[in-house]
């Protein structure tokens, strides 16, 4: 059975772009193979330096994932930092990682361009990510397009390591989720935390409604027909409504006589009812945080077994220990 592994950074409340682009596919994959999903808290230290915030985010992501259907009996779900061996592997890998490989990282250059300071952690980020993937002997790594280069770096590191020490590490295959369309944000750009154009999955009703009402539209008057082809409202509505409802809204756009405010209300209703069961589940989990901790602890115990086998093999191969 193939092992699927992916990490998610606890960098804030998850939005519906994250849901359709990452959470939902991850939940579907847990049925197909052996799923390893972890919360990348060591990675998050490259951007968050408030300990309370980090702890809060980690718990938030755990709740979001479990509420959205991650089944802890199927997937192995854990905190990255629960297995500190990963940092040992990262160090060992770093000794065979060419500087040039990391210097070419788009993600690093992007982050610096966006004002993050150039720390060693940020620079070495792809090496820790390689360690995540290799420690758990992953076959397939489902990620978004933005992580493609990181997967290439991982594969280069494997080739390099195995060249020097023999066939020790398993070469993983990326699975780029480009079949999942990019979810559009309130302003028409890609929905992203960094653009401030998001709809959070678990935002309170009032907040979510207000955000939906703020979706950018053109200024076609109520009576006039409206163009359905580029409408942000319709693009989002497609994610939460059935084909018949989408068709009805499209027709109504063409007919004219209805204002955008009305469509936004329908979108809000669709969104609100789609996530209703997840909200309920999240509230239950929130009042049972011990259960959440138990899930993460059990996940870590399972992950540790594989991690120890890999690190022993690696230590032996490189000559660490007796």
Catalytic residues: 111, 190, 193
Q: State the nearest-atom distance from the C-beta of 154 to ligand TRP, in Å.
A: 8
Q: State the nearest-atom distance from the C-beta of 17 to ligand ADP, in Å.
A: 3
Number of residues binding to ligand TRP, judged by CB under 6 A: 12
Q: 23 or 232, CB closer to ligand TRP?
A: 23
Q: Which does 217 bind (CB under 5 to 8 A by kind): ligand ADP, ligand TRP, none?
A: none
Residue 22 near ligand ADP by CB under 6 A: yes
Angstrom CA distances, 40 to 79, 102, 240, 254, 266, stand at 7, 19, 29, 46, 36
Residue 193 near ligand ADP by CB under 6 A: yes
Residue 47 near ligand ADP by CB under 6 A: no
Q: 53 or 149, CB closer to ligand TRP?
A: 149
- Exactly one of 3, 6, 46, 271 binds ligand TRP (CB under 6 A); which one? 6
Q: 144 or 259, CB closer to ligand ADP?
A: 144
Residue 147 near ligand TRP by CB under 6 A: yes
What are the structure tokens assigned to 107, written together? 């993600």
Report angle CA 273, 229, 210 to the nearest 5 degrees.
40
- Exactly one of 66, 129, 135, 267 binds ligand TRP (CB under 6 A); which one? 129
| φ/ψ of residue 184, rounded to 5 | -80, 145
Q: Mask of contacts with ligand TRP, 11-50, x by CB under 6 A?
A: -----------------------------x--x-------
Residue 36 near ligand ADP by CB under 6 A: no
Residue 143 near ligand TRP by CB under 6 A: yes
Residue 132 near ligand TRP by CB under 6 A: yes
Number of residues binding to ligand ADP, judged by CB under 6 A: 18
Q: Which residues bind ligand TRP (CB under 6 A)?
A: 5-7, 9, 40, 43, 129, 132-133, 141, 143, 147
């Amino acid at each position: 059975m193939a092992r699927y592994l992916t990490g998610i950074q606890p960098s804030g409340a998850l939005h519906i772009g994250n849901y359709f682009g990452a959470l939902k596919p991850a939940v579907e994959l847990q049925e197909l193979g052996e799923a390893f999903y972890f919360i990348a808290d060591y990675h998050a230290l490259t951007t968050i330096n408030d300990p309370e915030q980090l702890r809060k985010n980690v718990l938030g992501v755990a709740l979001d994932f479990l509420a959205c259907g991650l089944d802890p009996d199927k997937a192995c779900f854990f905190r990255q930092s629960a297995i500190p061996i990963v940092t040992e592997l990262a160090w060992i890998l770093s000794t065979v990682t060419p500087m040039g490989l990391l210097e070419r990282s788009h993600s690093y250059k992007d982050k610096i361009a966006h004002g993050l300071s150039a720390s060693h952690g940020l620079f070495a980020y792809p090496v820790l990510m390689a360690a995540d993937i290799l420690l758990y002997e992953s076959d397939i790594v489902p990620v978004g397009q933005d992580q493609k280069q990181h997967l290439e770096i991982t594969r280069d590191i494997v080739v390099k390591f195995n060249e020097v020490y023999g066939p020790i590490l398993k070469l993983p295959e990326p699975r780029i989720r480009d079949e999942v369309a990019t979810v559009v944000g309130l302003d028409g750009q890609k929905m992203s935390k960094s653009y401030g154009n998001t709809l959070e999955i678990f935002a309170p009703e009032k907040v979510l409604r207000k955000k939906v009402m703020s979706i950018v539209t053109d200024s076609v008057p109520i009576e006039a027909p409206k163009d359905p082809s580029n409408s942000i409202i319709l693009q989002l509505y497609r994610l939460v409504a059935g084909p018949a409802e989408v068709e009805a809204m499209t027709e109504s756009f063409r007919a004219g006589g209805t204002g955008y405010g009305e469509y936004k209300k329908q979108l809000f209703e669709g969104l609100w009812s789609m996530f209703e069961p997840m909200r309920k589940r999240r509230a239950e989990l929130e009042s049972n945080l011990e259960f959440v901790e138990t899930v993460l602890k059990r996940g870590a115990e399972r992950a540790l077994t594989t991690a120890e086998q890999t690190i022993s093999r690696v230590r032996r191969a490189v000559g660490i220990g007796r």
